[in-house]
Structure 1
Amino acid sequence: MTDAAELQTVAIERDFAHPPHKLWRALTQPHLIREWLMDNDFAPEVGHRFKLRGEWGGVLDCEVLLIEPERSLSYTWDFNSDDPAYALKSVVTFTLTPTETGARLRMEQSGFRPEQKQAIGGAKYGWAQFFDKLDQVAAQ
C-alpha cells in the first residue's frame, strides 16, 4: 500500500480572459461540463455522487467534496480498473482567482501512486486539452 506522503499531484494553472462567474458556470453546469470535459450527471451539492463518462468508454465515480461559489470546487475522481496500473482514487480541485483581465484557474488532481507515470503523463496532457475546450465553452 502506498503511503499518502508518496502520492503525487498533477497541477495545471492557466489565466483565462473570462470573469470567474463564466468559468464557474462552465465548471458546475452539467450541459457545459459535457462540452469541455465529459458526459455527466453532476449537481453542485456537497455529497452528491455522480459519474463522468469518457468518450473512450471509461466511467469515473465521483462525489462532490467542496463548493465555494466562484472560488473553489473539489470532487473525487475514481477510476476502477482490473489493471492496478490504471486504477485511480484521486481528488480534483479547481481554484478560481480573479485577475485584472479575467481569472486564473488552478486544477490539482492528487492521488497518483509513484508507479503511475503513464497515468500522470496522461493527466497532464488531458487536462491541458480540457482547459483548451473550457476556454471555448466559457466564451459562450
Structure 2
Amino acid sequence: MTDAATQSRSVTVKRELAFPPEKIWRALTQPHLIGEWLMQTDFQPHNGHDFAFTAEWGRIECQVLACEPNRQLSYSWVSQGLDSVVTWTLVPTGTGTLLTMEQTGFQPDQRQAHMGAIAGWPRFLDQLENVLRRL
C-alpha cells in the first residue's frame, strides 16, 4: 500500500503548435535557441551528456537521459534540493505538433518548487512559441 503523502508530484503542460516536429526539435536542442526561451545552456542532444542551465538566480545541473530526434527528449533537472526529470514529447498532428512537457519528481515537502513549475512552464512555452514564430 502506498501512502499518498509520500508520493512525488509532477507538472504537465500540453500545447498544440502550428509547427512541424523538426522545427520544435531545433528550438528544444540548439543551445542558442534554448537560451532565447528558457535559460543559457551548454546542452548537446546526446544520451548521457552532462549540461547545465544557468540564470541570475543559480544553476540547474542536468544530464540527457533519452534523445529520440523529433520525438522525445528527457533530462534530469537537479537544483536547490529538487531532483526531477523533464520530458518533452512531440507528436505530429494534422496541423502541426502536440508538444507535451512533463516534469516529475517533486516531493511533498517541495511545494514551492512545484508551484513555481506550475506557474513557470506555461510562460516558458509562451516564449518557445515566440522563438518558433521567428525561425
- Is TM (by shorter chain) over 0.5? yes
Match of 1:34 in 2: 35
How far apart in 2 are the matches of 1:65 and 1:133?
24
- Of the three residues 113, 119, 135, the one matched with 2:129 is 135
- Of the three residues 97, 102, 109, the one matched with 1:108 is 102
How far apart in 1 are the matches of 2:105 and 2:124?
19
Match of 1:51 in 2: 52
How far apart in 1 are the matches of 2:14 and 2:55?
23
How far apart in 2 are the matches of 1:33 and 1:129?
14
Query: 1:40 corresponds to which letter in structure 2?
Result: T
Cα RMSD for the two superposed structures: 1.5
Match of 1:65 in 2: 65
Structure 2 unmatched ranges of 5 or more: none
Match of 1:124 in 2: 118
* TM norm structure 1: 0.89
Match of 2:90 in 1: 96
For this pair of structures, how many residues does the alignment match? 131
Distance apart, 1:115 and its partner CA: 2.0
Distance apart, 1:54 and its partner CA: 1.8
Q: Deviations over 1:22-67 (max 9, x none)?
A: 1000000000000000000001111100010023x21000000000
Match of 1:21 in 2: 22
How far apart in 2 are the matches of 1:18 and 1:106?
14
